[in-house]
Amino acid sequence: MKESPVMEWFEHDDFWEMTYPFMFPETRIEKAEEDILSVLSLCGIEKGDVLDLCCGPGRFSIPLARMGYSVTGVDATDFLLNIARNRASIENVEVEWIKEDMRRFLRSRSYDLVMNMFTSFGYFQDHSDNMIVLENVNESLRQGGKFVIEVMGKETLASIFQPVTDTETDEGLLLIQRHTIESGWNRIANDWLLIDNDSVLGRWKFSHWVYSAAELKNMLQEAGFSNLEVYGNLEGSPYNSESGRLVAVATAG
Ligand SMILES: C[S@@+](CC[C@H](N)C(=O)[O-])C[C@H]1O[C@@H](n2cnc3c(N)ncnc32)[C@H](O)[C@@H]1O
């Protein structure tokens, strides 16, 4: 794993804290309850040990624990892990919360399901670092265990791409996003500006990989997975020109 001398964008808690209202509005947190049922049905999992890798505020970990699964939530951001811990304690559910980088977390043959949801993959500049994540997931799953990964697919991004977008919360926070496609469609660069009335609260420039269905499948195969399937949403619709998301389901080898 390549250590960077400067902090990477995803290592800044203030990025996740300031953009929280856009990434994790209450409606998205509530929708996760329904989504988790779709994930379980897509993978044919009815009980067992689940790793929510890059769990954020516990959108999926908490309802899973409520349903009786034994859940480990791993994330690198204290701010989000604290929200997850508080929510779990209010709901009186047990989740094992671990602060760790997704490249480092490895627990051999311990899980029946690993989930990596809502574009939590492809953050590392070096392709080999992203591969380490997939190899660790394969090793952390029991033989035959399932991995679900959900991202914005390259095909979808190409069909909806806009160089500038803006989003406003009901409270009047405005997020302006500029997007540039980089390195021959391998990566997307983002420039986010967060404004509250007349004040700029923050500006973040960051980039990450975007994968086509074929690229993601190839990486999963290279990491040791088999039975690779891709879908256009968590309900299992085909991945095609109408798809909003790219969901891959793979079996640990
Ligand atoms: C877009 S959020 C998705 C959160 C969660 N999966 C969900 O669906 O609500 C991406 C998450 O990845 C986490 N993250 C970013 N870089 C990470 C790293 N290197 N290791 C572990 N977690 C990381 C962030 O803290 C954040 O919680």
What is the Å distance from ligand 1's center to 206 Cα?
14
Identify the domain containing residue 202 by its residue range.
156-207
Range 224-244 average pLDDT? 97
Give CA–CA dist 127/115, Å, rounded: 20
Question: Which strands make up the sheet holding 246-251, listed edge to edge?
Answer: 96-99, 70-75, 49-53, 111-116, 141-151, 246-251, 226-231
Asked whether residue 110 falls in the same domain as residue 169, the answer is no
Q: Are residues 203 and 222 in the same domain?
A: no
Which ligand 1 atom lies nearest to the CA of residue 23?
1
Q: What is the mean pLDDT of the chain?
A: 96
* CATH code, domain with 81: 3.40.50.150
Q: Are residues 114 and 34 in the same domain?
A: yes
How much distance in Å is there from the Cα of 80 to the middle of ligand 1?
A: 9
pTM above the 0.95 mark? yes
What pLDDT sits at residue 100? Answer: 98
One domain, residues 166 and 45: no
Tokens of 158: 């190409």
* Ligand 1 pocket list (CB less than 6 A): 10, 16, 23, 54-56, 59, 75-77, 80, 101-102, 117-120, 123
| Dist. CA 28 → ligand 1 center (Å) | 15
pLDDT at 129 over 90: yes
pLDDT for position 6:
84
Phi-psi region of 119 (alpha: psi -120 to 50; beta: other; left: phi over 0): left
Q: Which amino acid is at 138?
A: N
Rg from Cα positions in the chain: 18
Residues 23 and 79 in one domain: yes
